[in-house]
Amino acid sequence: MTVVGYIDELIVKAKKAQSIFAGYSQEQVDAAARAVGKAVFDNAEELARLAVEETKMGKYEHKVVKNRNKPTTTWHHIKNKKSVGIIGYDDEKGIVEVAKPMGVVGAVMPVTNPNMTPAHNAMIALKGANAIIIAPHPAGKKSGLKTVEFMRAALKAIGAPEDLVQGVDVKPEDAIAASGALMALSDVCVATGGPGMVKAAYSAGRPAYGVGAGNMQCILDVDADIKDAVPKIITGRTYDNGVLCTCEQNIICHESKVDEIILQHSKMV
């Protein structure tokens, strides 16, 4: 079977599962989103160890924290939001706002976060009553597919279609072709990775959300609490050995605060 044919089969299964899911109530949709997040939370240690061993990136203890905190914070952010059926009214304009699923989300994953990013993307996709197909990075394939396995088992346990969450399992040499086919055949694409991947997503002919390399600037104004801010910035920079795109990159401050910032930094090293 060709790579395109394989991806097309995943799409067909995803569409079938999503057609069932589209008829779910808000409570059922929320239960599915929570279930996949909890699956990663409950297996945080195993997934973190597998990710570090496979990718040779990051720090085990920090990945455990990520695998627990990200699903938790995502769930608390989405749990009380309406995403099914009528979600709002604009009485002044006479408009009724109705939520409609996109369908099948094609999600291309980064090697830096082979567990947490699939969990987050799956929770968001399911919250909107969509299905999702996850394409792990070749260097994080084993860990990424294990994450998918846990999420599928969680869906099965609550009686939801397992094929709402699927993983792309291809040879490393076929990964780029598979990702390209997924971007082209899915209803919407979410690509997390380098500039090349993001550009490919935006060029695939489908609606796309690209997340490329981060470059977080930290601005410390003259009235900033240096003792509070500097330790947080350093922790953010070094967290998970700095593999996150959201890690702080540098500090922009007034020249009058430079010595105080350096002194605070020296107390931590």
In the chain, the N- to C-terminal Cα span, in Å, equals 55
Q: Is 54 left (phi over 0), alpha (psi -120 to 50) or beta?
A: alpha
State the pLDDT at residue 160: 98
In this predicted structure, what is the pLDDT of residue 51? Answer: 97
User: Which residue do the tokens 């929570």 mark?
Assistant: 34
pLDDT at 268: 67
Query: Distance between CA atoms of 206 and 21, rounded to whole angstroms?
Result: 22
Which residues make beta-bridge pairs with 89? 96
**Phi, psi torsion values for 256, nearest 5 degrees:** -70, -15
- pLDDT for 200 equals 79
Do β-strands 85-90 and 95-99 pair in parallel, antiparallel, or remain unpaired? antiparallel
User: pLDDT tens digit string along 170-211?
Assistant: 999 999 999 999 999 999 999 887 777 777 787 778 888 887
Diameter of the chain by CA atoms?
A: 65
Active site residues: 245
Distance CA 60, CA 58 (A): 7
Residue numbers in the chain where pLDDT is lower than 50:
none
| Residue 212: per-residue pLDDT | 67
Identify the pLDDT of residue 204: 78
Which residues are 153's β-sheet partners? none
CATH numbers and ranges of domains, the chain: 3-211 (3.40.605.10), 216-266 (no CATH)
